């Protein structure tokens, strides 16, 4: 809420030419405190958690349609909600310390914060790979796929910030030129999954999660790449219903604007918080974040047990006459900032 108020105030302030977003510590942001959200739901009412997401998604939308340039300096971990307050902005600067992931399927949730908008716009089917497996990307991989706009060595960030704070214009080309002075191209590691985009496209373009896993297993029989083994392991460990929700959400995101993606996310999270068909979000948080036994008991326990009609309900309006869908503020600028290639 503090960030939301600041973004609204700074957009109206003519003295503010650009915004610099950075982390206060070793991480940029590891995301929202989802364990606290689940606790508030189990001890109180599902609407308590839903209001948190309503405010978060509103902030994401304001960032995505902001009239002034935002420079996000991602010098460390960027996950979940941390991606929501950075990837939607115009400039995303990564370093050798950057680690990006959307690990929600392991928690019984789904990549929200409008992720179906930017993941679906990555080259090929790389977005499905990142969203379903929760794969961790380094700075070079983020730059290669378009999640980042610039790679700046960490040691040069102080100099970059110093120049940016002296800018007296909101012209994105001027700001881009400043970042370009410190930016460099970096090669991908030999082991990077992005080097095998052909295999990723072949497998993750399949229609169902089951078919994706089968395709990966067939490929792994003839190649010993670590990324493909890890991908299969992560898919088999994740919540089955979360995987189904995630794949459908990303596929739909290709044909949706960022506003529709965020409104869809809000419906999905409301159904999840209501524990209508599954308590996987609560169970995932328990197993990964609270008890840390890393042994969640998913329900449904297998992909083939996920009812397609139940899945449809997750994408439908919440059946509660006292509840409202996400209503995003009207914006003068609909110049959405995320572009997978600059």
3-state secondary structure of 78: strand
First-to-final CA distance of the chain: 31
Q: Is the Cβ–Cβ distance between 266 and 56 less than 8 Å?
A: no
The strand pairing partners of 97, in sequence order, are: none
- Catalytic pick among 56, 75, 104, 141: 104
10 Å Cβ neighbour count for 103? Answer: 20
Distance of CA 214 to the CA centre of its chain: 25
- Catalytic pick among 112, 141, 219, 259: 112
Give the integer Cα–Cα distance in Å for 278 and 257: 28
Residue 112 among the catalytic residues: yes
Residue 104 among the catalytic residues: yes
Find the DSSP H helices in the chain. 2-12, 34-43, 46-64, 81-84, 115-119, 126-133, 139-145, 157-164, 172-180, 197-204, 209-220, 226-237, 240-253, 258-273, 280-285, 308-314
- Catalytic pick among 81, 84, 108, 127: 81
- Catalytic pick among 23, 31, 32, 108: 32
Residue carrying structure tokens 């606290």:
36
Q: Which residues are catalytic?
A: 32, 81, 104, 112
């Amino acid at each position: 809420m503090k960030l939301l108020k600041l973004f609204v105030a700074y957009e109206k302030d003519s003295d503010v030419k650009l915004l610099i977003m950075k982390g206060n510590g070793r991480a940029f942001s590891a995301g929202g405190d989802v364990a606290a959200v689940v606790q508030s739901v189990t001890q109180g009412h599902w609407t308590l958690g839903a209001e948190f997401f309503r405010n978060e998604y509103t902030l994401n939308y304001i960032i995505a349609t902001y009239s002034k340039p935002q420079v996000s300096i991602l010098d460390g971990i960027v996950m979940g909600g941390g991606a929501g307050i950075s990837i939607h902005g115009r400039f995303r600067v990564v370093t050798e310390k950057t680690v990006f992931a959307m690990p929600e399927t392991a928690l019984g949730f789904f990549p929200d914060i409008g992720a179906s908008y930017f993941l679906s716009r990555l080259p090929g089917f790389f977005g499905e790979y990142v969203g379903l497996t929760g794969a961790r990307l380094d700075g070079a991989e983020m730059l290669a796929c378009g999640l980042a706009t610039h790679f700046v060595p960490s040691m040069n960030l102080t100099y970059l910030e110093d120049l940016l704070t002296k800018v007296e214009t909101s012209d994105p080309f001027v700001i881009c030129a400043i970042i370009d002075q410190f930016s460099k191209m970096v090669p991908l590691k030999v082991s990077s999954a992005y080097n095998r985009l052909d295999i990723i496209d072949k497998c993750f373009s399949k229609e169902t999660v089951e078919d994706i896993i089968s395709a990966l297993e067939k490929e792994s029989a003839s190649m010993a790449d670590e990324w493909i083994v890890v991908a299969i392991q992560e898919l088999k460990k994740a919540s089955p219903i979360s995987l189904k929700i995630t794949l459908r959400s990303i596929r739909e995101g290709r044909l949706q604007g960022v506003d529709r993606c965020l409104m869809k996310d809000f419906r999905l999270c409301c159904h999840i918080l209501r524990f209508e068909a599954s308590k996987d979000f609560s169970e995932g948080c328990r197993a990964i974040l609270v008890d840390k036994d890393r042994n969640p008991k998913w329900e449904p326990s297998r992909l083939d047990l996920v009812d397609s009609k139940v899945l449809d309900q997750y994408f439908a309006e919440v059946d509660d006459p006292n509840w409202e869908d996400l209503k995003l503020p009207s914006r003068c600028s609909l110049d959405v900032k995320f572009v997978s290639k600059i």
